[in-house]
Structure 1
Amino acid sequence: MTIGDDEALQLVISLHRLTRSLRKASTAGSLQLTHVAVLALLAQKGPSRIGEIAAWVPCSQPTATSAVLGMEASGLIRREPDPTDGRACRVTLTERGVAALAGLARGEAEVLARRLASLRPDEVRRLVEVGPLLRRLAEATD
């Protein structure tokens, strides 16, 4: 089965709305969206240069640099020399950054669990079954 652009658009809008509403309802903290994206990418990909972060988020390199400086000041990440290029640095997560990301995810999961409790068991089962498919779509390359 294929879906059209309108159906895909509605799905994207629904996913964005769900993510935003989970974030707003969660009491796990108030990290900026760019910071969350950077922390999640560092957790997934490991230590990275600022240019790589900018490409992944995506954002401009100055925006990535600003985000890195703010997160470094908060103790969420640290910069260290790049072992392959002494002129560059790599950004890596700190224990505090890992904990912040985990806390955010747990807070959003708690909100989602409360909302899922309002659905019928068959609806919850269908949503849980779609999780691996969403993960595959998130990891797909075009």
Structure 2
Amino acid sequence: MTTEFEVSQQQSLQLLISLHRLLRTVRQAAPANGLYPTQLIVLSQLLQGGPMRVGELAAQVPCSQPTATTMVSHLEAMGLVAREPDPDDRRAIQVTLTETGRETIISVTHGDAEIIAARLAELTPEEAAQVLAVAPLLERLSGQRVDQR
């Protein structure tokens, strides 16, 4: 027998606000080298998935293709990504992460992880375990898959 579980709009809003506050405190504690959160998502997608066309990036972020094109242009001007011919279709261009881009996203994510680890250490071991147990569910809610490494 299945019982239906209802989440109120207020509960959903509170979860969203809490997640935003957590991310904001992480961003304030470890500035992301002048990068916007969406740019960080693009860099992390390229790190995880390898070279992608702009349309694929737009779908992964998610954002519109014109927004992704603008982001890629800014990241390219910063030396974090490069545009290269797609080996499968020479008429198409794919975006690749440069070594500087790779180092940048790894540095930012490691810094962010250190801040989260410090915040988790402020909780009881049981509370920290509860928060960590929720991570796969939040990943499912985000609609994105992340490789477990």
Aligned-residue Cα RMSD (Å) equals 2.2
Identify the match of residue 89 of structure 1 among 80, 93, 104: 93
Separation (CA, whole Å) in 2 of partners of 1:140 and 1:49: 17
Matched, 1:11 2:11: no
Counterpart in 2 of 1:79?
Answer: 83
What's the offset of the Cα at 1:107? 0.9
Percent identity among equivalent residues?
50
TM-score normalized with structure 2 length: 0.80
Counterparts of 1:1-142 in structure 2, within 5 Å, are 1-27=5-31, 29-139=33-143
- Per-residue CA deviation, residues 47-85 of structure 1 (Å, 9 max, x unaligned), is 111122223323332322221122112221111101232
Count of aligned pairs: 141
- Per-residue CA deviation, residues 34-54 of structure 1 (Å, 9 max, x unaligned), is 211111222232211112222
Kept in 2: contact 1:27–1:107 (CA 8 A): no
User: What is the identity, as a one-letter code, of the residue corresponding to 2:11?
Assistant: E
**Higher RCO structure, 1 or 2 (CA under 8 Å, sep 6+):** 1
TM-score normalized with structure 1 length: 0.84
* SS of equivalent residue, structure 2 residue 96: strand
Moved more, 53-62 or 68-77: 53-62
Kept in 2: contact 1:40–1:101 (CA 8 A): yes
- Ranges in structure 2 where 5+ consecutive residues have no aligned partner: none
Separation (CA, whole Å) in 1 of partners of 2:121 and 2:102: 29
Separation (CA, whole Å) in 2 of partners of 1:90 and 1:64: 12
- Per-residue CA deviation, residues 76-95 of structure 1 (Å, 9 max, x unaligned), is 11111012322220001122
What's the offset of the Cα at 1:25? 0.9
